[in-house]
């Protein structure tokens, strides 16, 4: 609550632009206060990271590439493999989450998703196997059960779907073997 009380004028405007339930959840301590930092200080983060030509995104791509090279080297030293798994984000899958005024852009982002191609290129440039879940989540019919309504994190049903999808793709890529059913 003290965080909210110390907002400057612009930050107060951004806070009051949030859905009333989201404001109440933050005030009562029922939403992670770190999310409030994103909503107030970085309201355009999805728009920025979805633009591969934005300087912040270019910097992030370089840093992720460095990180993957380092992680790949660490994995190699332990004789294990690294896999880039791109988890679904409601902004790009059409799932209903109420957070900021920018959520009105979600249907645009679903049709104009550049982040997945950015991640795919990072994986390809680093010769790292890649799994993407966005398309699978776009095709799920129920758009309100897989992500928490007010914070966007996956629900138990969402995580179960993520696990099934990852497992299936790992089997398809030959990384895992399908368990034989017991008769």
pLDDT tens per residue across span 45-85: 899 999 999 999 999 999 999 999 999 999 999 999 999 99
Distance CA 145, CA 164 (A): 16
Q: What is the pTM of this model?
A: 0.84
pLDDT bucket at 182, cuts 50 / 70 / 90: low
For 120-145, the pLDDT digits (tens) are 999 999 999 999 999 999 999 999 99
pLDDT at 34: 86
Q: Are 17 and 100 in contact (CB under 8 A)?
A: yes
pLDDT at 72: 96
A 10 A CB-CB count for 46 gives 20
Rg (CA), the chain: 19
């Amino acid at each position: 609550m003290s965080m909210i009380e110390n907002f400057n004028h612009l930050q107060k405007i951004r806070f009051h632009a949030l859905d009333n339930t989201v404001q109440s959840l933050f005030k009562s301590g029922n939403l992670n206060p770190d999310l409030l930092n994103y909503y107030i200080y970085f309201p355009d983060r999805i728009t920025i990271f979805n633009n591969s030509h934005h300087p912040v995104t270019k910097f992030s791509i370089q840093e992720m590439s460095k990180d993957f090279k380092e992680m790949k080297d660490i994995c190699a030293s332990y004789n294990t493999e690294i896999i880039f798994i791109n988890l679904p984000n409601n902004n790009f899958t059409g799932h209903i989450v109420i957070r900021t005024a920018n959520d009105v852009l979600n249907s645009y982002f679903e049709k104009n998703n550049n982040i997945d191609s950015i991640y795919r290129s990072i994986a390809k440039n680093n010769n790292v196997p890649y799994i993407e879940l966005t398309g699978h989540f776009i095709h799920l019919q129920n758009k309100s059960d897989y992500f928490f309504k007010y914070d966007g994190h996956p629900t138990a049903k969402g995580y179960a779907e993520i696990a099934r999808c990852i497992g299936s793709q790992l089997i398809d890529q030959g990384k895992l073997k399908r368990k034989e059913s017991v008769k």
